[in-house]
A and B are shown apart, each in its own frame.
Chain A
Amino acid sequence: MTIIRELGDYGFNLAKDEHMHLVFLLKNLSGKLSASFRLAEGAKLQIEQIIIGGKTDCSLSYTLDKNAQLEQSNALKLSNNDTFNFAYFADHVGENSQSSIKIIGSLDDRAQKQSELKIHFAKGATGAFGSEAEKITLLGKQTRNVAIPTILSDESEAQGRHSFSSGHISEDELNYLQSRGLPSDKIKEIMARGELLKIAKLTKSPEIIQEFE
Chain B
Amino acid sequence: MRLRDGLDDKIIDEISTLKGDPEWMRQFRHDCLKTYHELDFPKWGPDLSGLDLEHISNYVRSSSAMVSSWDEVPDDIRNSFEQLGIPESEKGDLAGVGAQYDSELVYHRVKEEASKRGVVYLGIEEAMKDPKYAEIFREHFMKLVPPSDHKFTALHGAVWSGGSFVHIPAGVSAEFPLQSYYRFNAPGAGQFEHTLIILEEGANLHFIEGCSAPKYNVANLHAGCVEIFVGKNASIKYSTVESWSKNMFNLNTKRAVVEEGGKIEWVTGSFGSQVSMLYPMAILKGRGASMEYSGVSLAGEGQDLDTGVKVLHQAPDTRSLINSKSISKSGGKNTFRSLVKVLNDAKNSRSFTDCASLMMDDQSHNYTIPVFDIREASASVAHEASVGKISEREIEYLCSRGMSEDTARGLIVRGFANDVSKQLPVEYAIEMNNYLKLSMEGNL
Residues of A at under 8 Å CB distance from B?
A: 123, 138-168
Contact of A156 among B362, B367, B374 (CB under 8 A): B362
The DSSP consensus for interface residues of chain B is strand
Among listed B45-53, B382-390, B408-416, B430-438, interface-contacting one: B382-390
Sample of 21 A–B contacts (CB below 8 Å): A138-B374, A139-B377, A143-B377, A144-B373, A146-B371, A146-B374, A147-B372, A150-B367, A150-B370, A151-B357, A151-B385, A152-B365, A152-B367, A155-B362, A158-B388, A160-B387, A161-B386, A165-B381, A167-B379, A168-B377, A168-B379
B380 at interface (Cβ–Cβ under 8 A)?
Answer: yes
Who on chain A is nearest to B379 by CB? A166
Closest to A119 in B: B387
CB of B373 within 8 A of CB of A164, answer no
**For the complex, what is the distance from the CA of A123 to the CA of B362, rounded to whole Å?**
8
* CB proximity of B317 to chain A, nearest CB, Å: 15
| Residue from B365, B374, B387 within 8 A of A145 (CB atoms) | B374
Interface size class of B (residues with CB under 8 A): 20 to 34
Query: Complex formed: what's the CA distance from A143 to B357 in Å?
Result: 32
B423 near A: Cβ within 8 Å? Answer: no
Which single residue of chain B is at the shortest CB-CB distance from A138?
A: B377
**Which residues of B are found within 8 Å of A154, using beta-carbon distances?**
365
Most buried by A among B370, B372, B373, B383: B372
Task: State in angstroms the CA–CA spacing of A138 and B377 once bound together.
Answer: 5
A156 near B359 (CB under 8 angstroms)? yes
Closest 6 CB pairs of A and B: A138-B377, A156-B359, A164-B383, A165-B382, A145-B374, A160-B387
Please tell me if B368 contacts chain A, counting CB pairs below 8 Å.
Answer: yes
- Chain B residues whose CB sits within 8 angstroms of the CB of A146 once the complex forms: 371-374
- In the complex, what's the smallest C-beta–C-beta distance from B359 to chain A, in angstroms? 4
How distant is the Cα of A21 from the Cα of B71 in the complex, in angstroms? 78
A141 and B387 in contact (CB under 8 A), knowing A165-B380, A165-B382, A166-B381?
A: no
Bound-state CA distance A124–B248 (Å) is: 32
If A159-B388, A165-B381, A167-B381 touch, does A145 touch B372 (CB 8 Å cutoff)?
A: yes
Instruction: Using CB atoms, name the residue of chain B closest to A107.
Output: B377
Residues of A within 8 A of B362 (CB): 123, 155-157
* Cβ contact within 8 Å between B360 and A165: no
For B369, the closest partner residue in chain A by CB is A150
Residue contact A156 to B360, C-beta cutoff 8 Å:
yes
CB closest residue in chain B, given A147: B372
Tell me whether B320 is interfacial, beta carbon within 8 Å.
no
Apart from A146-B373, A149-B383, A157-B389, list 20 A-B contacts with CB within 8 A: A138-B374, A142-B344, A146-B371, A146-B372, A147-B383, A151-B357, A152-B365, A152-B368, A156-B389, A157-B362, A160-B387, A160-B388, A161-B386, A162-B368, A163-B382, A163-B385, A166-B372, A166-B374, A166-B382, A167-B380
Chain B: minimal CB distance from A169 (Å): 9
Q: Is B245 an interface residue (CB 8 A)?
A: no
Chain A residues near B388: list those with CB within 8 A: 158-160
When chains A and B are docked, how far (Å) is the Cα of A126 from the Cα of B203?
52
- List residues of chain B with CB within 8 A of the CB of A156: 359-362, 364, 389
User: B407 interface residue, CB < 8 Å from A?
Assistant: no
Report the nearest B residue to A108, measured CB to CB.
B377
**B contact residues around A138 at 8 Å (CB):** 374, 376-379
**B2 proximity list for chain A (CB < 8 A):** none
Contacts of A141 in B (CB 8 A): 344, 377
CB distance from B223 to the nearest CB of A (A): 27
- What's the minimum C-beta distance from A183 to chain B, rounded to whole angstroms? 18
Bound Cα distance from A153 to B333, whole angstroms:
10
Within 8 Å CB of A168, what residues of B? 377-380
Any chain A CB within 8 A of the CB of B19? no
CB-based nearest A residue for B378? A168
Say yes or no: is B366 at the interface (Cβ < 8 Å to chain A).
yes
The answer to whether B387 touches A159, judged by C-beta atoms less than 8 angstroms apart, is yes
- Scoring B373, B374, B383, B389 by chain A CB atoms within 10 A of each residue's CB, the highest score goes to B374
Q: A156-B362, A165-B381, A167-B380 are in contact. Are A148 and B386 (CB under 8 A)?
A: no
Cα-based distance from A89 to B397 in the complex (angstroms): 37
**Residues of chain A contacted by B374 (CB below 8 angstroms):** 138, 144-146, 166
Q: Which residues of A have CB within 8 Å of B381? A: 164-167
Q: How far is the CB of B416 from chain A (nearest CB, A)?
A: 15
Q: Which residues of B contact A153 (CB under 8 A)?
A: 357, 359, 365-367, 387
Q: Decide if B375 is an interface residue (CB 8 Å cutoff).
A: yes
CA–CA, A150 and B357, complex, Å: 13
B58-86: which residues lie under 8 A (CB-CB) from chain A?
none
